[in-house]
Amino acid sequence: MTQKRKVSNLLALAVLSYLSQQPMHPYELSRTLREHGDERSIKFNHGSLYMVVGQLAKAGYITEVETSRAGQRPERTVYALTDEGRAEFRGWLAELVAEPQHEYPHFVAALSLIAALPPGEVVHLLRHRLGRLAAERAEIRGLIDTTLAQGVPELFLVEEEYRLVLLDAEISFVEEFIRKITDPETGWGPAWAQFHGQTGPPPKEET
Amino acid sequence: MTQKRKVSNLLALAVLSYLSQQPMHPYELSRTLREHGDERSIKFNHGSLYMVVGQLAKAGYITEVETSRAGQRPERTVYALTDEGRAEFRGWLAELVAEPQHEYPHFVAALSLIAALPPGEVVHLLRHRLGRLAAERAEIRGLIDTTLAQGVPELFLVEEEYRLVLLDAEISFVEEFIRKITDPETGWGPAWAQFHGQTGPPPKEET
DNA sequence: GGGGTCATGTAATAGGTTACATGATTCT
DNA sequence: AGAATCATGTAACCTATTACATGACCCC
């Protein structure tokens, strides 16, 4: 479904969002996105921004309103949202909120192949991961706290709170996984180590 | 870090994994991946597979070992893992297990811009999402149960269990979010509705 | 007044997806 | 025997990332 949109890069959503407040030129968008901290939530890079702006213009969601010049700086093309752009923005955002998307996090991929590593090493790696997860958690926690302390309403931090919730869930999962491997009674370690190497994972049936 | 790898598409990891068990030709890889259900965890499409195989060969991780023909079918080029390929596989997989990657889920992007929608609509959309999440949860739950019932060891289902854990966390988060908007005492609804439209989200400071 | 870095954008390259092509097998 | 599907791959097309370019402003 998402793939029917004329512009699918999420960076475009942020652009539509900012242009819905006022017309801007691409560099201004770029700066605003960075200052606002949106790059934590939306993959951003300079080149892609110009690409996306071009796509949006071609799709009719934004139009060039003027090309001004300030001081002796190069010309800047200022874009504004069109009515279709506003509709697209609302609709797209609504869809993203209402419909979960199937995604492919790296850790899921790794887990799906993890039997290829020996269990001892896996435990080691998972412990390392736990450390990183804790650090990340602390960082997000700090970001939230200092931002709230500046008086920003919690509403503008929900994405960080969501991240935090997912992080906590992942931490529990990893801890539990380590336990399942290492439990002296029922641990998978021995069977895993034995099987390891000669045979691959058995096929799974479709539902 | 991940971006230093000569081949970064995760599909390549699956290819390395299967070739570490036995040489295969691309179509066989394709079939095996599909049958094994790996496309749930790793984005897969026919065209990309050939691309990735080409990249792996160019990088020296796999080599063409023969080009056989069975019956009157077209020729098939069979590939085998090289020693470098094996090392890359182990190292890459280990890194994915040990080091969390910064990722950009769609829902995070949506949350970061959600203030642009009116709170009433957001609640509606979130309730819709809850339904979808529950359905997805049930599906995964079923997949796990039937697969376990077939005697497949739990180890080969960890990625689904992880997904389940994340899903549960997301469900709680969404429920809580709805509460925060709608609570009759302290709900964000009124302030949000009022602010809505004229002004955009205030800037956040960097940490 | 020369060395950074800000401001602004374009171009080259690489990566990924979709569409197309074609002989073989199987089904009716 | 014709239709559908499997098996196998290539090519065309988009998207995205990196690298390059260039004038202005700012600092010492």
- pLDDT tens digits, residue range B90-116? 999 999 999 999 999 999 999 999 999
Strand partners, A201: none
- pLDDT the model gives residue A4: 82
Q: Is the pLDDT of residue A86 over 70?
A: yes
Q: Could you tell me if A18 lies within 8 Å of chain B, comparing CB atoms?
A: yes
Q: How many residues does chain A have?
A: 207
Q: Considering only CA atoms, give the Rg of chain A.
A: 23
Q: Is the pLDDT of residue A33 over 60?
A: yes
Rounded (10°) angle between helices B10-19 and B26-36: 100
- pLDDT the model gives residue A142: 96
Render pLDDT for B37-72 as a digit per residue (tens, 0 to 9).
999 999 999 999 999 999 999 999 999 887 655 544
Q: What is the 3-state secondary structure (H, E, C) of B52-87?
A: HHHHHHHHCCEEEEEEECCCCCCCEEEEEECHHHHH
Q: For strand D, give the nucleotides within 7 A of a protein CB.
A: 7-12, 15-19, 23-25
Q: Which residue is nearest to the C1' sugar atom of D9, using CA? A: B50
On the 0-12 / 13-18 / 19+ scale of CB atoms within 10 A, A95 is middle
- pLDDT the model gives residue A187: 86
Which positions in chain A touch B113 (Cβ < 8 Å)? 13-14, 17, 93
DSSP letter, residue A193: H
**A58: Cβ under 7 Å from strand D?**
no
Q: What is the mean pLDDT of residues B29-38?
A: 91
**B75: Cβ under 7 Å from strand D?**
yes
Render pLDDT for A92-126 as a digit per residue (tens, 0 to 9).
999 999 999 999 999 999 999 999 999 999 999 99
What is the pairing mode between strands A62-68 and A76-81?
antiparallel
Q: Assign A63 a pLDDT band (cuts: 50, 70, 90).
A: very high
Neighbours of B36 (CB within 10 A): 19
**A100: Cβ under 7 Å from strand C?**
no
A84 in Cβ contact with A60 (< 8 Å): yes
Of B94, B125, B146, the CB nearest to A94: B125
In this structure, of A151-165, B34-48, B191-205, the range with the lowest mean pLDDT score is: B191-205
Q: Could you tell me if A125 lies within 8 Å of chain B, comparing CB atoms?
A: yes
Q: Quote the CA–CA distance of B146 and A202 in Å, as a whole number.
A: 14
Which positions in chain A touch B96 (Cβ < 8 Å)? 106-107, 109-110
- pLDDT the model gives residue A114: 96
**B149: Cβ under 7 Å from strand D?**
no
**B106: Cβ under 7 Å from strand C?**
no
Q: pTM (2 decimals)?
A: 0.91
Nucleotide of closest approach to B74 (CA, C1'): D8
Render pLDDT for B113-167 as a digit per residue (tens, 0 to 9).
999 999 999 999 999 999 999 999 999 999 999 999 999 999 999 999 999 999 9
